[in-house]
A and B are shown apart, each in its own frame.
Chain A
Amino acid sequence: MRRVDWRVVMGVAGIGAICLVWLLATGGLIWSTLDEAGRTILKDTLGERIMLLLLMWAVSLLAVGAALRWMVSYFMTAPARLAEQAQVLLGTNVKRQLEPTGSAENRRLTDLFNQLVQQREALREEMDVRVAEAARNTEQEKNRLAALMSELTKSVVVCNLDGRILLYNNRARMQFRKLSQAPGVAGGGELIGLGRSVYGVFDRKLVAHALENIQHRLQRGAAAPSAQFITTTPSGQLLRAQMAPVRAVQEADTVAPVTMTGFVLMLDNITREFEAQARQDHILHTLTERSRAALGNMQAALDVLEYPDVEPEMRERLLMVLREETGGLGNRLRELKSSALDSTVLRWPLEDMLGADLVAAAIRRIEALGGLTAVEAGVDDSLWLKVESFSLLQALSYLAERLRQECVISTVQLRLSMGIGRAQLDLCWTPSAAKLTDKVVPGWEHDPMRSGGEDTSLTIQDVVERHGGAFWFEREPETGTTFFRFLLPLAAPQEQLDSASLVQNESRPEYYDFDLFQPSAQSRSLEDSRLSELSFTVFDTETTGLDPANGDEIIQIAAVRIVNGKLLRNENFDQLVDPKRNIPAITIPIHGITPEMVHGQPTIDKVLPAFHQFAQDTVLVAHNAAFDMRCLQVKEKVTGLVFDHPVMDTLLLSAVVHPNQESHRLEAITERFNINILGRHTALGDAMATAEVFMHLIPLLEEMGIYTLGQAREAAQKTYYARLKY
């Protein structure tokens, strides 16, 4: 459909009106000079023929219209196109000769532009040589870091404070691949990648808690604060993570408190070790207990046998007991040997923590539940505990919430004191009805902890065992106060404050610069975020046809990511999909996918969840996105996944930037931007091309004053093509 040029329409209408007025005025003048007879003759002569006059008028207008149209395209559109093309040259690094069109003046201008471009290119090349030289040095240092990272035997992931991944090594990638629930599809790429959130793997609260711990310690001046935690992943693996802070760059002579800009996680998958350890612990534990019991039985029997007057029958029974117990002991020892207790001892990591800090954290957490007030009731602030604070806090808030729900308690007190060899942490309350409490409370330690919407399979008993502690419910007869008591291990008091001067800037790598450490766009609302700061998933689908609502299916999805203005070619998603229907033969030349190729590939209900995760926290980009989004949306019911990401369409954005270009097909745009992509017409090739186009469009949009996602969406909606619907 051709666009109607209103300038031509207005021109024709104007000229038509002028002609008409001229005709009428001339006619009227002649009329006024005629006498009655002359007027009659004129009336008779013209009479019916007045239509001829009007027809000629209309015909001449058509001619005028055609002439005007030609003139507009020759003298006006050609310069407008030239201006748009020049803008492309200005705003991007495209090297391209402009085609001279239109009037002689316009052609001359085009030539001048081309010369200027050549001049600029020459300058730029010279500059590039110098930049490349400087970059080589930086690159060498980066390579050294990369080599160092890849040789590490631990998985290392570096994140900023929002949990976005800035750096990871190959081992981390392998480990995440093992964690992936869709290994055949995305191969872990949906979990790890630059700019991705680490919270896809770790519980956000767990990481936040560890961060808080480290921050407290930094403020207190600890030399090398680190935190450890253990977490289970969605696929049931047990990961041990050690967290160390990345400190902010500080002037050498400032005394300001140390701030963090991010953190390093070192990961170990300890699922197997932990299971083995748990088995060994169990064997050891039962062995000691049973041996004690057996020895007890033997000791008692021996004691009785020492009496001289034991009847023969009793003596025989006791000897039998001795034989049985010695036999049993021997068996248990053999069992122990065959279970091959090895020397690698793995413990659930317990950390040193100031008791007062733990109580303060518990109060914050309990009050955050809502409906409960928590207060300190005697805290010995000299006590250092050795605890796994996350699970312990979980336990305390679980108990508090259950008290509120089942015993109608609104206030709890926390108490910390020194017991015999251990610290006593009490959660106290004044019961509203003693009978009720006694009936309800016992046995809570065996139930899985649920609190604040968090579910865990751990019980209080597990937490207590993890600490080698004890837990019970008790009532103080004098005061009537009831409480849960945790016996917790003590830590040696820590070295404090004095070490603060040692740590300045020494442990930080100086050979790397992480742009992503800047506060990210994620902390602002997406709509107000700059396009150049957002993360994008650029994707393309191949289908069996153009009507997804009536049975056409996706046969391939491919995507690449743009993070922090960089196209990450290696973090891509490329998957064939078995459509469970035929592929029409006429479509095969378009996408090149044959029925044999999709046979045995995963079906859409397996692929879309992986793709959804791959695109997590990003803006979706596609060329003619309305179609691709439709394909995803018709599957919402089957997969239960909603693709409610913000969406950008390169077709619409191209129309925003270049309203005068006739075609906004992907081919035409790539040609305009001089983009060469191998493998076009495969989903991945098209996704790459779209991504390149999108990255060329961003600076052009900025020249038009369109900086944010919200502004870009608004502009796109206004364009003519926005009315196309599938």
Chain B
Amino acid sequence: MTKTVLIADDEPNILISLEYLMKREGYRVLLAHDGQEACDLIASEHPDMVLLDVMMPKKTGFEVCHAIRADETFKAMPILLLTAKGRDTDVAKGLAMGANDYMIKPFSTKELAQKVRELLESAE
């Protein structure tokens, strides 16, 4: 069965590449341009996994994370944070908010694809 991956980022320039990559990896891809849209799509589409940027308008990645974990239905959904915030405190906060893993921009897309694969497998 095709897995669905939600990519939430307010930078259209990275959405282009990530969408292409994830499709190439064989996933169905959903795109959100801010935190609120991400929350709405999760609620309506139930994706298998979420790639979350931290700094987004309306709701930050941390807040989306917190909202996902607060909902019983999505307790086990893998969350991968993509952050331009390089500080260790932000990473600690993201993990405390319930993210499974994080990648600091710029990152290698090969590593990203690898992480997505691992997280999806571990969730099964």
Cβ contacts under 8 Å, A314 to chain B: 20
- Nearest-CB distance from B113 to chain A (Å)? 9
- Give the distance in Å from the alpha carbon of A301 to the alpha carbon of B20 in the complex: 10
Most chain B Cβ neighbours within 10 Å, of A296, A304, A474, A485: A296
- Residue A292, interface by CB 8 Å: yes
- Residue B114, interface by CB 8 Å: no
- Residue A303, interface by CB 8 Å: yes
Q: Which residue of B lies closest to A439 (CB)?
A: B70
Most chain B Cβ neighbours within 10 Å, of A288, A293, A325: A293
- Residue B55, interface by CB 8 Å: yes
Is A289 in contact with B96, judged by CB distance below 8 angstroms?
no
- Give the distance in Å from the alpha carbon of A301 to the alpha carbon of B14 in the complex: 7
Q: Are A293 and B90 CB-contacts (below 8 A) given A300-B14, A324-B13?
A: no
- Residue A70, interface by CB 8 Å: no
Is A487 in contact with B92, judged by CB distance below 8 angstroms?
yes
Looking at the complex, which one of B13, B18, B110 makes contact with A325 (CB distance below 8 Å)? B13
- Residue B84, interface by CB 8 Å: yes
Segment at the interface with A among B35-43, B101-109, B115-123: B101-109
- Residue A726, interface by CB 8 Å: no
Cβ contacts under 8 Å, B97 to chain A: 472, 474
Cβ contacts under 8 Å, B96 to chain A: 472, 474, 485
Against A, the Cβ 8 Å flags (1 = close, 0 = not) of B68-94 are: 001000000000001011111110110
- Nearest-CB distance from B10 to chain A (Å)? 9
Is B92 in contact with A420, judged by CB distance below 8 angstroms?
yes
Which A residues from 357 to 378 make CB contacts under 8 A with B?
none
Interface range on chain B: under 10, 10 to 19, 20 to 34, or 35 or more? 20 to 34
Cβ contacts under 8 Å, A487 to chain B: 89, 92-93
- Residue A421, interface by CB 8 Å: yes
Is B18 in contact with A300, judged by CB distance below 8 angstroms?
yes
- Residue B46, interface by CB 8 Å: no
Looking at the complex, which one of A297, A419, A471 makes contact with B14 (CB distance below 8 Å)? A297
- Give the distance in Å from the alpha carbon of A155 to the alpha carbon of B104 in the complex: 46
Against A, the Cβ 8 Å flags (1 = close, 0 = not) of B42-71 are: 000000000000010000001100100010
Is A301 in contact with B89, judged by CB distance below 8 angstroms?
no
- Nearest-CB distance from A286 to chain B (Å)? 10
Number of A residues, CB within 8 Å of B: 36
Q: Which residue of B lies closest to A487 (CB)?
A: B89
- Give the distance in Å from the alpha carbon of A307 to the alpha carbon of B109 in the complex: 12
- Residue A321, interface by CB 8 Å: yes
- Residue A422, interface by CB 8 Å: yes
Cβ contacts under 8 Å, B109 to chain A: 299-300, 303-304
Q: Are A438 and B21 CB-contacts (below 8 A) given A321-B16, A420-B92?
A: no
Looking at the complex, which one of A296, A304, A421, A438 makes contact with B107 (CB distance below 8 Å)? A296
- Give the distance in Å from the alpha carbon of A304 to the alpha carbon of B104 in the complex: 19
- Residue A468, interface by CB 8 Å: yes
Is A442 in contact with B84, judged by CB distance below 8 angstroms?
no
Is B86 in contact with A292, judged by CB distance below 8 angstroms?
yes
Which A residues from 111 to 128 make CB contacts under 8 A with B?
none
Is B105 in contact with A296, judged by CB distance below 8 angstroms?
yes
- Nearest-CB distance from B99 to chain A (Å)? 12
Looking at the complex, which one of B11, B20, B90, B92 makes contact with A419 (CB distance below 8 Å)? B92
Cβ contacts under 8 Å, A472 to chain B: 62, 93, 96-97
- Give the distance in Å from the alpha carbon of A468 to the alpha carbon of B18 in the complex: 31
Cβ contacts under 8 Å, B90 to chain A: 470
Looking at the complex, which one of A289, A292, A307, A474 makes contact with B24 (CB distance below 8 Å)? A307
Cβ contacts under 8 Å, A288 to chain B: 86
- Give chain A's interface secondary structure class: helix
Cβ contacts under 8 Å, B104 to chain A: 292
- Give the distance in Å from the alpha carbon of A314 to the alpha carbon of B24 in the complex: 13
- Give the distance in Å from the alpha carbon of A485 to the alpha carbon of B86 in the complex: 20
Is B21 in contact with A300, judged by CB distance below 8 angstroms?
yes
Cβ contacts under 8 Å, A144 to chain B: none
Most chain A Cβ neighbours within 10 Å, of B18, B55, B86, B105: B105
- Give the distance in Å from the alpha carbon of A641 to the alpha carbon of B107 in the complex: 65
- Residue A290, interface by CB 8 Å: yes
Is B93 in contact with A470, judged by CB distance below 8 angstroms?
yes
Is B105 in contact with A442, judged by CB distance below 8 angstroms?
no
- Nearest-CB distance from A338 to chain B (Å)? 23
Against B, the Cβ 8 Å flags (1 = close, 0 = not) of A441-480 are: 0100000000000000000000000001111101000000
Q: Are A422 and B18 CB-contacts (below 8 A) given A293-B84, A296-B82, A301-B13?
A: no
Q: Which residue of B lies closest to A306 (CB)?
A: B109
Is A301 in contact with B16, judged by CB distance below 8 angstroms?
yes
- Residue A161, interface by CB 8 Å: no
Cβ contacts under 8 Å, A290 to chain B: 84
Cβ contacts under 8 Å, A310 to chain B: 20
Q: Which residue of B lies closest to A296 (CB)?
A: B105
- Give the distance in Å from the alpha carbon of A299 to the alpha carbon of B55 in the complex: 19
- Nearest-CB distance from A469 to chain B (Å)? 6
- Residue A491, interface by CB 8 Å: no
- Residue A630, interface by CB 8 Å: no
- Residue A318, interface by CB 8 Å: yes
- Residue A317, interface by CB 8 Å: yes
Against B, the Cβ 8 Å flags (1 = close, 0 = not) of A293-330 are: 10111111101100100100010011001001100000
Cβ contacts under 8 Å, A295 to chain B: 105-106
- Give the distance in Å from the alpha carbon of A288 to the alpha carbon of B11 in the complex: 16
Most chain B Cβ neighbours within 10 Å, of A300, A301, A422: A300
- Give the distance in Å from the alpha carbon of A485 to the alpha carbon of B95 in the complex: 13
Which B residues from 5 to 22 make CB contacts under 8 A with A?
11, 13-14, 16-18, 20-21
Is A303 in contact with B89, judged by CB distance below 8 angstroms?
no
Q: Are A301 and B17 CB-contacts (below 8 A) given A288-B86, A292-B106?
A: yes
Is B106 in contact with A299, judged by CB distance below 8 angstroms?
yes
- Nearest-CB distance from B39 to chain A (Å)? 14
Cβ contacts under 8 Å, B82 to chain A: 296
Is B70 in contact with A321, judged by CB distance below 8 angstroms?
no
Most chain A Cβ neighbours within 10 Å, of B63, B70, B93: B93
Q: Which 3 A-B pairs have the closest CB atoms?
A: A296-B105, A300-B17, A470-B89
Query: What are 29 A-B interface contacts by the 8 Å CB criterion?
Result: A289-B86, A292-B84, A292-B106, A293-B84, A295-B106, A296-B11, A296-B14, A296-B84, A296-B105, A297-B13, A297-B14, A297-B17, A299-B109, A300-B14, A300-B106, A300-B109, A303-B109, A317-B16, A325-B13, A419-B92, A420-B88, A420-B92, A421-B88, A422-B89, A438-B70, A442-B66, A470-B93, A471-B93, A472-B96
Extra contacts besides A293-B11, A304-B109 (13): CB < 8 Å: A292-B106, A293-B105, A296-B11, A296-B84, A296-B105, A299-B107, A300-B109, A301-B13, A301-B16, A324-B13, A325-B13, A438-B70, A442-B63
Q: Which residues of B pack against A, CB within 8 Å?
A: 11, 13-14, 16-18, 20-21, 24, 55, 62-63, 66, 70, 82, 84-90, 92-93, 96-97, 104-110
